[in-house]
Copies of this chain bind each other. A is one copy, B any other.
Amino acid sequence: MKEFELIKHFFAEQIVKRKDVILGIGDDCALIQAAERQHVAVTTDTLVAGVHFPVETEPRAIGHKAIAVNLSDLAAMGAEPAWVSLALTLPEADEAWLKEFCAGVFELCEYYNVQLIGGDTTQGPLSITVTAQGITPADKCLLRSGAKAGDWLYVTGELGDAALALKHLQGQVSVEEVFTEQVMTKLNYPKPRVLAGQALKEYASSAIDLSDGLISDLQHICQASKVGANVVLDALPLSKVMRDTLEQQAAIELALSGGDDYELLFTVAEDNKVGMETSLAHAGIPITCIGQINGSEKITTTLDSKPVAISSRGFEHFSGKGPDNASDRQS
């Protein structure tokens, strides 16, 4: 296992040195110092080769994504990312692979001033588990549970490009060559909405990051908040490549059910709408109002102001059929 010991040198190459890290990598534990009157937000996500990313994904993208999906969870709480622990299981200690993987990890860590405080490297089938921790003021946190009837439903950025890229890779759709890099970047190098989350914690009543797909993640908000929501499908922010590549119905289905967007889905009370929109505009973060929360405990969708149905197998019936019970999609 000598090679695996060498990996520690890769982990030691990070630049970020935070003052609140009392002891970094190298002892039995790291030691961190949380600030007074702050909460520490903790999240853990695993990426398994062949499940969460195609086996042939470039190592830099795997490193990036392992960090990004966790920072995205911190963003959804409005937390400031601070520390990550990285558990890497890989079949063999391939130096070139590791160099690229670590480049992906550290690029994102450096950008957000996040310090790697622990690493464990083991031999086995490729998978990466990151535990990320962030800091948030004790009284200001974005939870899933704060949405109220009447709140407006918003999403950052555009939806579905990552899922489109995956379908392109799988040969199910053909993205024009000029757009391929753009959608592949969305899939491989998702940008966690860290700044948006921090701005939103002043205004939003609830938030979640989009990892499973819009409807699925909206259900988490609705269940936690005991509310329902109507999504205006015409309003969904679809990229030019989505609109160029797919018919409207297919594009909307992908935007609703495709995962890996890592945008934030959030709700804002009427009173905070202007303040929020101004704040996010100043920060240069694109947002779109895509619907409204209601008291029904169901998720409904409308197109051209008419109700359309979604079902447990996605967005199936593009007709005037009455809205389905949201519980169909619970999984």
Residues of A within 8 A of B (CB): 1-2, 5, 22-23, 26-34, 36, 39-52, 73-74, 76-77, 79, 83, 85-87, 89, 117-120, 122-125, 127, 129, 131, 133-134, 136, 138, 141, 143-145, 207-209, 224, 331
Contact = CB atoms under 8 A, between A and B. Distances in A.
B44 A143 contact: no
Given A5-B331, A141-B31, A145-B27, A42 B77 contact: no
Main secondary structure of the interface of A (DSSP, over half): strand
Contacts of A136: 31
A76 to B, nearest CB: 4
Q: How many copies does the complex hold?
A: 2
B42 A331 contact: no
A124 B50 CA distance: 9
A141 B34 CA distance: 16
B77 A29 contact: yes
A143 B28 CA distance: 8
B127 A124 contact: yes
A39 B22 contact: yes
Contacts of A85: 42-44, 131
A120 B331 CA distance: 15
Given A32-B39, A49-B124, 16 more contacts: A22-B138, A23-B141, A28-B73, A29-B73, A29-B77, A32-B40, A33-B39, A33-B138, A34-B34, A36-B36, A42-B131, A44-B85, A48-B89, A48-B124, A50-B124, A124-B127
Q: Which of A40, A41, A48, A73: most chain B CB closer than 10 A?
A: A40
11 contacts: A22-B138, A27-B145, A31-B39, A31-B40, A31-B136, A31-B141, A32-B42, A46-B87, A48-B123, A50-B124, A87-B129
A74 to B, nearest CB: 6
B129 A46 contact: yes
Q: Which of A29, A47, A125: most chain B CB closer than 10 A?
A: A29
B122 A52 contact: yes
A216 B89 CA distance: 22
B27 A86 contact: no
A144 B27 contact: yes
A118 B40 contact: no
A138 B33 CA distance: 8
A77 to B, nearest CB: 5
Given A74-B29, A89-B127, A129-B87, A331 B44 contact: no
A6 to B, nearest CB: 9
Contact of A87 (B31, B44, B52, B133): B44
A42 B27 contact: no
Contact of A1 (B28, B48, B145, B331): B331
Given A43-B28, A51-B124, A73-B29, A23 B143 contact: yes
B87 A27 contact: no
B48 A40 contact: no
A245 to B, nearest CB: 26
Nearest to A42: B30
Contact of A118 (B32, B44, B76, B122): B44
